[in-house]
Amino acid sequence: MASRMWFVAAAVAATAMTARAEPAPDECARRLALAKVWLEVKVAHPAVVRGQVDLDAAMPAVIAKVDAATTKEAYAAAIKELLAPLRDPVTFVEDAAGAPTPPRITAGWIEHPTPKIAVVTALALATEARGKRGELVAKLPAELEGAEVVVVDLRAPGMEGLVANLGYPLQAALPHADKGLIVREVVHHGYRTQDGVSSGGYGSGLFERAEAPPQGGGKARHVVFVADNHAAIPKLALMLQASGKATIVSSEPLHDTTYWMLTNDVELPYGLVAHIRLEEVMLPDLSTIAADVIVPAPRSPHDAAIELAKAIAGGAKPPVHRPGPRLVAPGPVIVDDKDWPESPYPSRELRIFAGLKAWGVIAKFYPYLDLPNEWDAELPHALAELEAAPNAEAYRDALRAYGTHLHDGHIRIFRNDQKRGVPSIEARMVQRTPIITRVWEPGTQVTLGDEIVAIDGVPIAKAREAQLRLTSGGTQTARDNGALAQLLGGVPDVPVELDVRGADGKIRKVSLVRHPPAGPPALDHYKLIGKLGYADLRELMPDEIDAMFKKLAEAPAIIMDMRGYPHGTAWPLTPYLNVKKETKGALFLRPLIEQGVTSNRTMFIQPLVQNPAIKPYAGKVIVLIDDRAISQAEHSCLFFEQAANVTFIGTHTHGSNGDVTTIRLPGGWRMWFTGQAVRHVDGRQLQQVGIQPTIVAEPTIAGVRAGKDEVLDRAIQFATTGQ
């Protein structure tokens, strides 16, 4: 990552400019490249994780300049403005066609000014064929045999990769390093939630690892390295310097550079490249790189190093090491992102930033990008919609529409200060028709089985089409029902106006007040239906579980209703079901981001709760499911299928599981998304699929109007007949 082939880059750039003039990149390409730079710095730069730099604060002004940039110079200036607060020589913008001036050295590859001294000049390999270079480097240990002091001139523009790896062949001839280095890098275990807490246990921090010195070592007792801020310095040089066995000579004060440190290089429009630091490297005393001897121009550092080597070979003590600046403590400082909450309708630049930020965070941290999605493809359209949004509602809806392209039922765009109300009814798609399926407020003007014809004066087909564009879900069934629920909801105390068609075919108008969300009251969280047990997992509380199994112990079957969201009962409930004596509950894959790399996952198996004192229930276990079972409800089903010989009856669940985490977006908005992947223990997919029913059972319009629960009826039939 850190090495740069200067000669090749310059030649390619020159050829391209000669062949034809490249058109200026379009606005979307300029924005996307900016987003990539912002993202890599945000995720991987140690200073950001330490809370030293508020990278987001600069984005509105930088976006305006990127949009206006029609030349290489203007675009480079905009990106430089974003990176300037870092004050980091390793993180900067560069023209890939540029190249440093090679030092003037006429020495050969290996020379012996005296029998005790050997001089290695890396730049001398520039005239050799690529294959020949490897042969010469491989012979280094033999060529240096017998030298007491070795001089290694590391300055070789265009060959930084080769020079950085010289440490491997050199270690057989140079002194053994007694001390290693400390390397510090940013590690993310999922995306740390930016609002409240998450059950996912996500977190970010700076990880320090000790990089031990290589084994072995030759007979030479000291090394003099010649470097500058364009040299690729092998880490072995720093280890030997820390051990008092090497001296670094330079024509200038040294600092961290992209030539020897690990960076992420982001290609930008106009042939520019942004280099972004991925690590901090320290000597054991926590100091950074520094030259022990600085040789000012016009004197040659190469010649000065040879003179120093002769003195050391003659018995003189090496120069005392001059430590570089000490790095600040690792931190991190946990600081939530700036979100400009003053107005729900932020500026044009902030609205664009919201789209870029959502895209970037998902691109790095979303655990299901291997499943079907249109996240990258829809970014240009999302940015255009966000930019054109005339008000806060349109801005929110543009974010919602973009979120649907992840096909994740956890996607939600909201502000914490916004309240939502719903009427005291539930409506669902039954036989492809929007039907009122539950009513729990006395005196409500609607009846079970009423068909919704219009909402707030808008024909239902048109209203559903508009709402589906804003409704994300793991499956199409979940989206269909979710859109209907969203249409019924709104501002508390403001009624929703419905046109409904009854069983008699007549259409009537009704007005239903929206209340704070609350489901129908359940008198019995568990009960006997004849001889069969029934437990409503939408209402059952953890402290009721023991009493429930005592009451239902003699029932030949227990029907557990999971057509909704439970109250954390799966963990204490599973020991009562675990006839299989299973220990494994679910497979987790949590994003592990190290040095900006997104391909890694932390895989672990979540165990089932064990309680040997509990005798598991031996009867049939039946679980009722449909798309209202999402997240924890689906996770509960994973536990149940592991522990018991469960029969699922109904239709597939929502298809969205994995603990939610939160992004802060401009305007005080929040975006939920699934933070880690969850699968069946055997690796089968759950996301976008859901728990599949063993026996399919669905309500009918006639059944709803008759007050029947046809899914429960089917479960009772199976429990009593086995069919």
pLDDT digits (tens, 9 = 90+) for 207-220: 999 999 988 788 89
Same domain, 113 and 196: yes
The answer to whether residue 520 is domain-embedded is no
For the stretch 292-334, pLDDT in tens is: 999 998 999 999 999 999 999 999 999 999 899 998 877 767 7
**CB distance 648 to 691 below 8 Å:** yes
The answer to whether residue 420 is domain-embedded is no
Q: How far apart are CA 533 and CA 529, in angstroms?
A: 6
Q: What confidence score (pLDDT) does residue 22 get?
A: 55
Q: How far apart are CA 709 and CA 718, in angstroms?
A: 14
Same domain, 176 and 28: yes
The answer to whether residue 319 is domain-embedded is yes
- CATH number of the CATH domain containing 636: 3.90.226.10
Beta bridge partners of 117: 114, 149
Same domain, 290 and 402: no
**Structural domains counted in the chain:** 4
Same domain, 157 and 303: yes
Same domain, 399 and 313: no
pLDDT at 12 over 70: no
Same domain, 250 and 319: yes
The answer to whether residue 519 is domain-embedded is no
The answer to whether residue 518 is domain-embedded is no
Give the least confident one: 259-263, 372-376, 385-389: 259-263
Q: How far apart are CA 241 and CA 238, in angstroms?
A: 5
Residue 492 CB-density burial (10 A; 0-12 exposed, 13-18 middle, 19+ buried): middle
Give the least confident one: 96-100, 386-390, 449-453: 96-100
Boundary-marking domain end, from 488, 512, 536: 512
pTM given for the model: 0.91
Same domain, 244 and 387: no
Tokens representing 92 are 């900067």
The answer to whether residue 482 is domain-embedded is yes
The pair phi, psi for residue 498, each rounded to 5°, is -120, 145
Same domain, 605 and 658: yes
Strands in 117-121's sheet, in edge-to-edge order, are: 110-114, 117-121, 149-153, 222-227, 246-250, 293-294
Spell out the residues 6+ positions from residue 506 whose beta carbon is closer than 8 angstroms to its own: none
pLDDT at 11 over 50: no
Please give the average per-residue pLDDT across 346-363, as a whole number: 98
User: Cα dihedral sign for 591, 595, 598, 602?
Assistant: negative
The answer to whether residue 121 is domain-embedded is yes
Same domain, 328 and 355: no
Please, what is the average pLDDT of the chain?
93
Same domain, 366 and 317: no
Q: How far apart are CA 306 and CA 152, in angstroms?
A: 10
Please give the average per-residue pLDDT across 10-36, as a whole number: 67
Q: How far apart are CA 118 and CA 438, in angstroms?
A: 89
Which pLDDT band, with edges at 50, 70 and 90, does 160 fall under? confident
Boundary-marking domain end, from 482, 512, 542: 512
Residue 22 CB-density burial (10 A; 0-12 exposed, 13-18 middle, 19+ buried): exposed
pLDDT at 6 over 60: no
**CB distance 392 to 426 below 8 Å:** no
Same domain, 318 and 269: yes
Coil, strand, or helix at residue 323?
coil
Same domain, 605 and 470: no
Spell out the residues 6+ positions from residue 410 whose beta carbon is closer than 8 angstroms to its own: 630, 631, 656, 658, 660, 672, 673, 674
Q: What confidence score (pLDDT) does residue 99 get?
A: 61
* Domain range enclosing 489: 425-512
Coil, strand, or helix at residue 432?
coil
For the stretch 648-702, pLDDT in tens is: 999 999 999 999 999 999 999 999 999 999 999 999 999 999 999 999 999 999 9
Percent of the chain with pLDDT over 90: 83
Single out the residue of 91, 73, 87, 135 nearest to residue 109, CA to CA: 135
pLDDT at 16 over 80: no
Q: How far apart are CA 103 and CA 95, in angstroms?
A: 20
Tally Cβ neighbours within 10 Å of residue 397: 18
The answer to whether residue 385 is domain-embedded is yes
Q: How far apart are CA 119 and CA 225, in angstroms?
A: 10
For the stretch 402-450, pLDDT in tens is: 999 999 999 999 999 999 999 999 999 999 999 999 998 877 899 999 9
Boundary-marking domain end, from 338, 373, 392: 338
- CATH number of the CATH domain containing 458: 2.30.42.10
Single out the residue of 90, 286, 327 nearest to residue 182, CA to CA: 286
Which pLDDT band, with edges at 50, 70 and 90, does 19 fall under? very low
For the stretch 196-248, pLDDT in tens is: 889 999 999 999 999 999 887 888 999 999 999 989 999 999 999 999 999 99
What does the longest C-alpha to C-alpha distance in the chain come to?
A: 111
Which pLDDT band, with edges at 50, 70 and 90, does 23 fall under? low
